Amino acid sequence: MPRYAIATEDDEIKTSARTVAATEFHDSDESLFEQVAWLYAFCRERLFRDDTERMIATLWRNGGPLPGTQLIELGCGPGFYSRRLAERFQHISVIGVDRSENQLLWARQRAAACELRNCSFERVNVLDLPCADRCFDVLIASRLFTVLPERNRAVAEMYRVLKSGGRCFIAEPRYMFWASIPLFAMWLLASMTHSGNGYREPRKATVFSASAFEKVFAAHPWKRVKIWQDGRYQYALCEKD
Ligand SMILES: C[S@@+](CC[C@H](N)C(=O)[O-])C[C@H]1O[C@@H](n2cnc3c(N)ncnc32)[C@H](O)[C@@H]1O
């Protein structure tokens, strides 16, 4: 059964999010995001670009989301975007999923401090989302592919869980140098404080050229895919038929 540290109490909102069950992970203790969770949360909240307004303007061009909109964030880390969107739009239901329990702990604590009742976080593998097909209206993922080699499988899951007419917004860094700085700092700190055995993310981030980024989405029959670059980031907006 799903666990929810922060569950919505509004019975009117029968969330798809509630049907996302937790996943068992066997190697995630060795993840940098687990070992030095605070360092990533610091980078996310203080150093990285905040794309909240860009997401809102891109996803909801005619104003905001409709009441009852179901939104999922894949690889939510400390839950920065899930919390911001849930706070801004209290009539939607948001779930952030990640493999790192320590990132989720951070996310849940911050959401609880803001008394967010429409936002929950679950430990889930984004490559095998434990939820039905077509249950989310909106999906977001930020900086996920920088650390996730199985991006085709992740995009297949994105496509599967989106409803018809659903949209996903993806944000990825463009330059390996800038994207690798936080990973390298985490790797360095984890090397000093934890044993080096087992799974670790690479020291260098993976980044895509514009054409490679476009190809990531090509395997699925999206109604529309828009790709664009802005400074150190690139974005994709994909709409399902
Ligand atoms: C670079 S962080 C991005 C966090 C956040 N989205 C942001 O904008 O900063 C990547 C996140 O993806 C998570 N992650 C990596 N592989 C995953 C998987 N297979 N399933 C779920 N989460 C995963 C990591 O634990 C990490 O929190």
Q: What is the pLDDT of residues 44-57, one digit of tens each?
A: 999 999 999 999 99
Ligand 1 pocket, residue 103 CB under 6 Å: yes
Task: Write out the residue range of the structural domain in which residue 121 sits.
Answer: 16-239
In a domain, 3, yes or no: no
pLDDT one-digit tens code per residue, 122-163:
999 999 999 999 999 999 999 999 999 999 999 999 999 999
Question: How many residues would you count in the chain?
Answer: 241
* Domain assignment present for 161: yes
Q: Residue 176: helix, strand or coil by DSSP? A: helix
Q: Is residue 7 part of a domain?
A: no
Number of domains the chain is built from: 1
Q: What is the distance in A from the centroid of ligand 1 to the CA of 182?
A: 13
82 lines ligand 1 (CB under 6 A): no
Q: What is the pTM of this model?
A: 0.89
The CA distance from 125 to 232, in Å, is 27
The reply to whether 26 falls in a domain is: yes
Q: Which single residue is written with the structure tokens 């090397």?
A: 191
Of 173, 25, 20, residue with least CA distance to 100: 25
Q: Tell me, yes or no, whether 87 lies in a domain.
A: yes
Buried b / exposed e over 58-76, threshold 16 CB at 10 Å, is bbeeeeebeeebbbbbbbb
Please indicate, yes or no, if residue 2 is contained in any of the structural domains: no
Query: Considering the domain boundaries, does residue 4 fall inside one?
Result: no
Q: What pLDDT is recorded for position 50?
A: 97
Domain at 165, CATH number: 3.40.50.150
Say yes or no: CB of residue 102 within 6 Å of ligand 1. Answer: no
In a domain, 149, yes or no: yes
